[in-house]
Amino acid sequence: MNGTGRNGTGRKLFATVTALLALSLVLGTFGPAQAKTTIKVAGISPVEYRSTQSLYRIAEKVKEQTDGRIEMRIFPMNQLGDYTQIFEEIRRGTIEMGLIFLPSQFDVTLELGSMPFLAENYSQIRQALSPGAFVCDTLDAALDKLGVKQLRIFGEGFIGLGSKKEPENPTDPKADKGLLVRVAPVAVYKYMAEDMGFRTTTIPYADTYSAIQTGVCDGWIGGSSQINYQVFGDVIKYYVAYNSLFDQTTMMINKKLWEELSEEDRKIISDAVDVEADLSFELCEQEDADYLAKMEERGIEVITFTDAEKAEMARYIRAQTWPKLKERLGDDLIDRLMEAYQ
């Protein structure tokens, strides 16, 4: 046999090896295609509401900055269940993410954000519910134990009193107000309202409008200026901006999924959420001012407080009401909260 066959075989082998080397260089340079991650995000508000719009903006930003690797599918208005069901599903990982109220069936510590007079104004409440503050960090730790990562707390608005009758001595925290008001069937609402000088009843929320209209009760504590204007505007004649409680929702994600994401992707999501969480406090403050003005235009008398009156009301409730909640939340938690506010 002459050398022609051997040389031909050699050339073919060389070409094959060269092709394999080239392929390995390509794969080494670009790596395998990264799998797409789809995240179901549950919301509780209507599509047009600002918190739902925040979710859409977060999803758009995350998709853009991850080049489509992470897609967030938004399900607003309790499409995936109410907030208690959503929370359970996020713990399991069957729903990956949500912006919801915190349920307390697994840990009463999660009621901490509902304590009365955590703040006297929007600047203070934003600080109290941001990372690094006692309330925010305590909620974060409690959620972590339940397999849920807290991303940020979103502001929804302060709560006041809507009533058909004018309250007596509304700015004096110790004075009897001469009103029977509806409160939610939760200890924090009942203790706070009674310490503020109101008599209370726990009429179902769905019956509250007709109860005020027919005189079964005189008013209610449990809604923002927006809710009082939009839902109760035809039946109330007074709105007292006590700002006693603050409605909030929490952006959360399944902890296992969060830890599986790359550091880069976690930062992309965190940054997008931070922008919207900060914006939520700005928007709810503006909304509050807008609806107080609308109520006045509608003929509803709006009663507000000076900074000194707010501070006195807060000091009084923290001293009177917070200790009563030790039975519910435990001595240690309330003691640490009171220490943080000294």
Quote the pLDDT of residue 299.
Answer: 98
Supply the pLDDT for residue 342: 87
CA-nearest of 267, 179, 176, 276 to 221 is 179
* Of the candidates 133, 146, 99, the residue with the CA atom closest to the CA atom of residue 248: 99
CA distance 117 to 314: 5
- How much is the pLDDT for 2? 46
Cβ atoms of 99 and 44 closer than 8 Å? yes
pLDDT along the chain (342 residues), means of 10: 49 52 44 76 94 97 97 97 96 98 94 96 97 98 98 97 97 96 92 97 94 98 93 97 96 98 98 98 96 98 97 97 96 97 90
The residue ranges of every structural domain in the chain are: 34-340
> What is the CATH code for 34-340?
3.40.190.170
Q: If you write DSSP's letter for every residue of 300-316 in order, what string do you get? A: PEEE---HHHHHHHHHH
> Which among 66, 136, 104, 90 has a CA at the least distance from the CA of 258?
90
- Residues 53, 43: Cα–Cα separation, whole Å: 10
pLDDT at 127: 97
Q: Mean pLDDT across the chain, nearest whole number?
A: 92
Task: Please report the pLDDT score of residue 186 as a whole number.
Answer: 87
Task: Give residue for tokens 């092709």.
Answer: 19
Q: What is the pLDDT of residue 23?
A: 47
pLDDT digits over 291-341, tens only?
A: 999 999 999 999 999 999 999 999 999 999 999 999 999 999 999 999 999
Q: What is the pLDDT of residues 248-270, one digit of tens each?
A: 999 999 999 999 999 999 999 99
pLDDT at res. 16: 53
Q: What is the pTM (predicted TM-score) of this model?
A: 0.86
